[in-house]
Amino acid sequence: MPILLYGQEACPLNKSDLNSFDFTVSIGFFMKLFRTSDMKVMGAFNFVLPSVQIVKRRDKFVKI
């Protein structure tokens, strides 16, 4: 996950870019890895979607 987020705090991303990251992780990773369409699996691992992580990282980057 860190390699996916690396440098994203410095790049301007629009809503569709953030949705693409979320889709890649939720569908491409969790649903295929655990062979389930139940999104509660992500909650069981306390996983935060990339769109939320990128916003937090960007705010931290801009603050410094």
In the chain, where does DSSP find H-type helix? 2-5, 15-23, 32-33, 40-44, 50-63
Q: Which residue has the tokens 């509660």?
A: 40
Do residues 8 and 57 touch, judged by C-beta distance below 8 A?
yes
pTM: 0.64
Hey, what amino acid is at 40?
K
pLDDT in tens, 14-32: 889 888 888 887 777 777 8
pLDDT of residue 32: 81
pLDDT of residue 31: 78
pLDDT of residue 64: 64
16 CB neighbour count, 10 Å cutoff: 7
- Residue 18 CA to residue 30 CA, distance in Å, equals 17
pLDDT of residue 13: 82
- Is it the case that residue 52 has pLDDT exceeding 80? yes
Mean pLDDT of the region 9-14: 77
